[in-house]
């Protein structure tokens, strides 16, 4: 019976710690699953806001986030760092960085996101406005 209980403990799911999501090995599988939700576009007060909140939640393990509008050149997103050494390294404090970019109203028809991970690999996705616009 004791051997059964010991085996059961090893087979039970273990709590997930934040440290599991601070490298590319931890975040890439999640980012692959949520790829359609990396960004959102919201028309607001005469502007388009390109929200990257979901993507930024998994920024630990990503060396660089690059984005392009309407087939243009990739630009580097200057966002919040990963807070390694803190209890919640992926938290968005939004003290100096906002989780969105601003563009002229209705100007964002397509958005390309290109991620460079800490292991040197990349992941990219192209979004159509109609698929990611929120009101």
Task: Specify if 2 maps to a domain.
Answer: no
Task: Specify if 3 maps to a domain.
Answer: no
**Cβ atoms of 90 and 60 closer than 8 Å:** yes
Task: Specify if 6 maps to a domain.
Answer: no
Task: Specify if 7 maps to a domain.
Answer: no
**DSSP for residue 36:** G
Put simply, whether the predicted model's pTM sits higher than 0.95 gets the answer no
DSSP letters for 8-58: HHHHSPPPPPGGGGSSHHHHHHHHHHTGGGS-EEEEETTEEEEE-HHHHHT
pLDDT value, residue 20: 65
Domain carrying residue 98? 17-132
**Cβ atoms of 112 and 105 closer than 8 Å:** no
Query: Does pLDDT of 93 surpass 80?
Result: yes
pLDDT bucket at 58, cuts 50 / 70 / 90: very high
| Token representation of residue 51 | 């929200």
**CATH number of the domain encompassing residue 122:** 2.60.40
Number of domains in the chain: 1
């Amino acid at each position: 019976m004791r051997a059964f209980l010991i085996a059961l403990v090893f087979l039970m799911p273990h709590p997930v710690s934040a440290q599991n999501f601070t490298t590319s090995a931890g975040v890439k599988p999640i980012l692959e699953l949520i790829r359609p939700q990396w960004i959102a576009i919201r028309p607001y007060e005469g502007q388009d806001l390109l929200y990257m909140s979901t993507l930024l939640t998994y920024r630990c393990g990503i060396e660089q986030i690059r984005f392009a509008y309407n087939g243009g050149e990739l630009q580097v997103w200057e966002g919040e760092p990963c807070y390694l050494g803190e209890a919640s390294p992926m938290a968005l404090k939004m003290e100096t960085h906002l989780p969105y970019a601003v563009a002229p109203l209705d100007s964002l028809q397509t958005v390309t996101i290109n991620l460079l991970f800490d292991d040197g690999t990349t992941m990219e996705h192209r979004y159509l406005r109609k698929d990611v616009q929120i009101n």
